[in-house]
Structure 1
Amino acid sequence: MRKLSFVVFTAILAHAAIAQNYDAHKAFAPIFYTSNGNEFRSADGAPGGSYWQNRVNYHVNVSFDTSANILKGTANIDYINNSPDKLQFLWLELDQNADMEDARGLSEMNPGIKASSEKGFKFSSISILKDGKWKPVDYIIDGTRMQLRLKDAIDGNGKALKIKIEYSFKLLKSSAGDRAGILETKNGKIYELAYWFPRMCVYDDLLGWNTLPFIGGGEFYMEYGDIDYTVTAPSGLIAVGSGELLNGKEIWNDKILKNLARAKSSEKTVVIRSLEDVKNSSSPTRKTSGDVTWHFTMKNTRDVAFALSKAFMWDGAKMDLLHGKTAFAQSVYPQESVEGKSEWNRATEYLKASVEDFSRRWFEYPYPEATNVAGPIGGMEFPALTFDYYQVGGKNLWALLSHEIGHSWYPMIVGSDERRFPFMDEGFNTFVDIYAQEDFNHGEFAPKRDGEYAPKGGNPADEIIPVIRALQNGPTLMTPPDWMDYKYVHPLAYFKTAFGLVLLRDIVLGKDRFDYAFRNYTKNWAFKHPSPIDFFRSMDNAAGEDLSWFWRGWFYNNWQLDQAITTVKYIDDNVNNGALISIENKEKLPMPVSVEIKEANGKTQILKLPVEIWQRGADWTFHAPTTSKIISVTLDPNHQLPDIDRSNNVWKPS
């Protein structure tokens, strides 16, 4: 027996040397979570009983000079310190400064670029309210960040500080890292304004002040609050903005108001301002000369954006939410957006369907309006409003509009840190896009594919294999985007994340458990600031599964998967007694196993093996209850797994 045990042990060691890529002790290493839950963030992934986050309310009043392209105004900021800490200084984001010659992103990509006095924010006054009087405050500006240095610290637990900033900037053809800009059209210019006022950085319980500079790849992390804003510009323009227009009845002419009322009660798209109106230079505003002031407000939001143009055609429709609630979908676009292959006349249809789908599946849309703006920006999201390229049609237009408004859920409602963890917004949003695309108009544009990686006739599992191979020694999903070559951002943050969630939903957890857990995460962290660990804990707890092996292999590493059939033997050499099938995990990533067995008697069966079979090592042998000669054994017959070598997935008798 000792000799036999030694022989078996030696054989195991010899095989381990061959299958050296897989290490069960690393794949299923204990203590994945290196810190316990606390009063701020619970062990089950939900906000803790003492969870806090600071709040910022803005009152911003600006005017926009369409001849000089200069925005000028005042931002009044109410900063509420709900943390338990005293704050001796404050940090703000100045994202228009991304275009300045000394901004890190621009200087990194274009060393030696010429200076320009036109670019970035200009400040005429920065003050705080002290003893009923506005007093100047010391500050420094470093690229896209500003630090206010206070003489008296702000106490915590709800104490507030009022800040007033008088500022201006020039809107460029491409501004704020190509997230705002100007487009010249046949019937006038389109002005898209984003990151148009100084915004507070987030102070949280994880890192304190979040002050990563805006370089370009990473996006944004902002505090929630109410934003009340006015925009003064020449009459004759259409203005749309995040939130709700409060004074529309005073601004719009009677024809616009009549069409707008019809649109807000219609299931089908209603034209509010036609191409004929645009070409006739018919003013949408009651005032036909001088300036008009639009007054918008948005509750519990992390940002707002707006757009202006006399070239805008305008249409809209009612969106049906849950429990009888409704909201309004609208699109504005120039003549060029309905010419050639451009099909912006369907934009509101796509917007309505997307918002209704995301509301039904994941979390009800909380805002009164949702807006598409056609213009120069390829695709950029803001709360309840998107900037999308003006000349797109068909499936591409659907994919663009649905994806960008989907960001109203991730990260606009679920306020994750895009600058550090883009998978929590781009990836989650790409994932929910899959099902919206399946649902829309009986799958008119389905299936959703990541076109950049989608060869004809392939499927997502096969398409991601080259990506995984290319990333073997590259960044992971936990790497901030500005810390990697930008060529990796899309395949990681969008494609790999979304496909990973599909694996969890279709292979590991099943649709019911996954959907329940994902909805629970979304509900618990709506209008809050989750971290990746909060997401991982949320899914583990709500689904009732220890998924640490998956988070470790797919998110913290770029481990590959290679499942293989090694031997098939009949019990006692009798085909009627069933077979012993041996399989091997040849690479580092473990996954559940699906086995298709075809017999000579015409019977086909699918056996499912859980991921736990790999906890003890790289090999597993199981009994297949067959009763006739086996024609073939196939692992992952439907190609759902990203198996890098399918040649060893099939066994047939010699």
Structure 2
Amino acid sequence: MKYLKNSMLLMLFAFSLSVVAQEAVKNNQHLFDNVSYRQGNVYRTASGKPGPEYWQNSADYNLEIALDDKNHTVSGTVTIQYINNSPETLEFIWLYLEQNRFTETSRGTLTTSVLGSRYAGDVEGGFELNNVSAKTATGTSSKYLVTDTRMQLFLDKPLAAIGGKVTISMDFKFKVPVEGMDRMGRLETEAGIIYALAQWYPRVAVFDDVTGWNTEPYLGAGEFYCEYGTFDVKITAPANHTVVCSGILQNPKEVLTKTQQERFAKAEKSDETVYIIKPDEVGKAASQAKPNGTLTWHYKMENTRDVAWASSKAFIWDAARMNLGNGKTGMAQSVYPKESAGKAAWTRSTEFTKASVEFYSTTYFPYPYYNAINVAANVGGMEYPGVSFCHYQSVGSDLWGVTDHEFGHNWFPMIVGSNERLYPWMDEGFNTFINHYSTAAFNKGEFSTSIDKPRNLVNYLTYEKREGIDTAPDVANARNLAYTAYYKPASGLFMLREYILGPERFDNAFNSYIRHWAFKHPQPNDFFNHMENVSGENLSYFWKGWFYGNGNIDMGIASVEEYQGNYLITVENTGEIPMPLELQVIYSDNTTENVRLPVEIWQRGNTWSHLLKTTKSVQRVVLDPNKMLADVNMLNDTWNKL
């Protein structure tokens, strides 16, 4: 999803609110109750792994299309080899036609505020479809219904369970929107138009063991949920265009000059950025493999859920080697117009892309693709497997932030294939969380990050119109979406790692979750179950308190009293979310002692008295001394001896 700048982060949510103490609750006992997410079945186990009978369907795509830069249209043919691995027969196949969002009568257009939003888009588009067919072993059908951004394609006979195959094909055409909901579009530059193409072909919806067919319409904030497969893509464009696409270029000798081929080979061995097309070569005949007419660029990508591409005669093109761990290498690349070049701008894009992908590859899960291509476009920031669209005017920390965020999405949801349309926190929140660590590691901390300051959320957490993380993206208030999808879940994971579990236990569980659900479709319960089983911790209070509903953390120090030569420290919980408690005791001789109390103290009520055994005089007691919790009331965090 669109990258959210640091300048929009947390503390700039312009609410004129004071911190208010939360009304006391009777207790938090209900949050510790056993809940349904611990139940497993043959498809998804109680330990949060794919079960022994887990299945998912697959779709391989063959796409042959042409870009008409005079009429700004894309036309061509898609052929889909779809395999039904489910245990039930299928009478029809649902497909997404997401370009249909760009019409006056689409549900997305009609549910966009008249005041506009970043998900507004052109309304002169939509698919033109012809020669639609679905061929199975028993026959061919051409019967289908189109409803908004979805197509129901009927089969001649039900598709067999556990291995039934159907070949779906159709011709399609659409006009490329200028404003494509901040996910795709056309950008006018001095040297030519940049076409950034996404959601550009009819594709199969996911059929899973939880919902069956996932047919939520494409409205705006809700993103995507896709099956995995192999993509074979042939893009015919004007000969003076450079075309980049998800996957690996199959015919470099046909579309690149000899000089460009040599430079590309040099970049594959270089940790420093190498130009493929230099700034002073843009638009010149010497940079074209063919003087006029068209060229067909052939790309292929395996085990991916999507592909995106870009085409322009305005592209500067540079690249460098990525070191992905275990001896594996890849290529970081950037394409951008002259307007974007500069040492503080897109000239650093490949450096940023390389560092980002290398960090995630060696820290969480090996990057599965060869190329990572950053495209300068009129898109604030949008991710696709192996390709990101980032705003052409981004510079400095903003360019690092958007590049890092969009390439981080290759792990969530490109590798771990969650349902973004329903659970944006499982990709945006997880990705924002890992962005914190990547940013901290980049170039000795050149750029700052705010996720390690959960109290920055307090203004939002005490806002009367706040919404929970579990709010669906298409119905969340536009002012709240950054918090429900990005910042609150990311801060929750930060607290879980740094405060509740500790880095070692968290990392073991989190990396195991990625490993077990790579190229599969996890649900929220799968994540909850797996984190608990690997970390060995019952976290029901945390999932139910932080990820569902609008409760808040508010713990405080009620009193510190001398008791039989020692001290009784009484703490209270006036919030709705219990948490483990860390106290720092400062003695009169300026020495300190930290006390850790488990979350289970709140199973016994709202107050707890801890016996501190010491012969020293207590001068001060501070709750959460490192400010790791998003505690909404700081006024009761400190006790001072009078």
TM-score, scaled to structure 1: 0.92
User: Residue 528 of structure 1 is aligned with which of 514, 520, 523?
Assistant: 520
User: Residue 580 of structure 2 is aligned with which of 592, 608, 616?
Assistant: 592
1:580-600 deviation per Cα after TM superposition (whole angstroms, max 9, x unaligned):
111101111111111111111
User: Residue 378 of structure 2 is aligned with which of 372, 376, 379?
Assistant: 376
Q: Where has structure 1 moved over 6 Å in runs of 4 or more? A: none
Contact 1:19 1:618 in 2 (8 A): no
Letter in 2 for 1:522: I
Q: CA deviation at 1:275?
A: 0.7
Tell me, in whole angstroms, the C-alpha distance in 2 between the residues paired with 1:365 and 1:71.
Answer: 30
2:178 equivalent in structure 1 = 173
Pairs within 5 Å for 1:624-639:
624-639=612-627
2:599 equivalent in structure 1 = 611
Instruction: Answer with 150-159 or 500-509: which moved more.
Output: 150-159
1:483-503 deviation per Cα after TM superposition (whole angstroms, max 9, x unaligned):
221221111110001100000
Contact 2:357 2:407 in 1 (8 A): yes
Task: Indicate how the Cα distance of structure 1 residues 332 and 117 shifts in structure 2: closer, same or farther if over 3 A, else same.
Answer: closer
Contact 2:141 2:156 in 1 (8 A): no
Contact 1:342 1:391 in 2 (8 A): no
1:208-255 deviation per Cα after TM superposition (whole angstroms, max 9, x unaligned):
000000000100001001010100011011110001110012210011
Tell me, in whole angstroms, the C-alpha distance in 2 between the residues paired with 1:112 and 1:598.
Answer: 55
1:490 equivalent in structure 2 = 482
1:23-76 deviation per Cα after TM superposition (whole angstroms, max 9, x unaligned):
222222x22125621110011000001100000000010011111111110000
Q: Secondary structure at the match of 1:627?
A: coil
1:284 equivalent in structure 2 = 287
User: Residue 460 of structure 2 is aligned with which of 456, 467, 487?
Assistant: 467
Q: CA deviation at 1:272?
A: 1.3
Q: Secondary structure at the match of 1:615?
A: helix
Task: Indicate how the Cα distance of structure 1 residues 477 and 112 shifts in structure 2: closer, same or farther if over 3 A, else same.
Answer: closer
Contact 2:429 2:486 in 1 (8 A): yes
Contact 2:104 2:123 in 1 (8 A): no
Q: Secondary structure at the match of 1:487?
A: coil
Contact 1:583 1:619 in 2 (8 A): yes
Q: CA deviation at 1:136?
A: 4.7
User: Residue 263 of structure 1 is aligned with which of 259, 264, 267?
Assistant: 267
Tell me, in whole angstroms, the C-alpha distance in 2 between the residues paired with 1:214 and 1:194.
Answer: 13
2:253 equivalent in structure 1 = 249
Q: CA deviation at 1:22?
A: 4.8
1:234 equivalent in structure 2 = 238
Tell me, in whole angstroms, the C-alpha distance in 1 between the residues paired with 2:632 and 2:517.
Answer: 36
Instruction: Answer with 166-175 or 504-513: which moved more.
Output: 166-175
Larger radius of gyration: 1
Q: Which runs of 5+ in 1 are unaligned?
A: 1-17, 451-458
Tell me, in whole angstroms, the C-alpha distance in 1 between the residues paired with 2:179 and 2:123.
Answer: 16
2:155 equivalent in structure 1 = 150
Contact 1:599 1:626 in 2 (8 A): no
Q: Secondary structure at the match of 1:612?
A: helix
1:346-393 deviation per Cα after TM superposition (whole angstroms, max 9, x unaligned):
000010011110011100000011100001111000001000000111
2:125 equivalent in structure 1 = 119
1:47 equivalent in structure 2 = 50
1:600-624 deviation per Cα after TM superposition (whole angstroms, max 9, x unaligned):
1222111111111111111110111
Tell me, in whole angstroms, the C-alpha distance in 2 between the residues paired with 1:523 and 1:131.
Answer: 36
User: Residue 74 of structure 2 is aligned with which of 58, 71, 88?
Assistant: 71
Contact 2:382 2:406 in 1 (8 A): yes
Tell me, in whole angstroms, the C-alpha distance in 2 between the residues paired with 1:275 and 1:81.
Answer: 49
Contact 1:380 1:386 in 2 (8 A): yes
Give the CA RMSD over aligned residues.
Answer: 2.0
1:553 equivalent in structure 2 = 545
* Highest RCO, 1 vs 2 (Cα 8 Å, sep ≥ 6): 2
Letter in 1 for 2:461: I
1:333 aligns with 2:336: yes
Tell me, in whole angstroms, the C-alpha distance in 1 between the residues paired with 2:354 and 2:123.
Answer: 43
Q: CA deviation at 1:101?
A: 1.4
Q: Which runs of 5+ in 2 are unaligned?
A: 1-21
Tell me, in whole angstroms, the C-alpha distance in 2 between the residues paired with 1:132 and 1:204.
Answer: 24
User: Residue 182 of structure 1 is aligned with which of 180, 183, 186?
Assistant: 186
Q: CA deviation at 1:77?
A: 0.6
1:175-215 deviation per Cα after TM superposition (whole angstroms, max 9, x unaligned):
3x332111111111111111110010000000000000000
2:497 equivalent in structure 1 = 505
Letter in 1 for 2:277: R
Tell me, in whole angstroms, the C-alpha distance in 2 between the residues paired with 1:344 and 1:306.
Answer: 18
Letter in 2 for 1:527: F
1:99 equivalent in structure 2 = 102
Tell me, in whole angstroms, the C-alpha distance in 2 between the residues paired with 1:78 and 1:361.
Answer: 35
Letter in 2 for 1:320: N
Tell me, in whole angstroms, the C-alpha distance in 1 between the residues paired with 2:447 and 2:440.
Answer: 7
1:137 aligns with 2:142: yes
1:85-116 deviation per Cα after TM superposition (whole angstroms, max 9, x unaligned):
11011111111111111211101225799x99
Q: Secondary structure at the match of 1:318?
A: strand
Contact 2:43 2:50 in 1 (8 A): yes
Task: Indicate how the Cα distance of structure 1 residues 513 and 58 shifts in structure 2: closer, same or farther if over 3 A, else same.
Answer: same
Task: Indicate how the Cα distance of structure 1 residues 95 and 22 shifts in structure 2: closer, same or farther if over 3 A, else same.
Answer: farther
TM-score, scaled to structure 2: 0.93
2:92 equivalent in structure 1 = 89
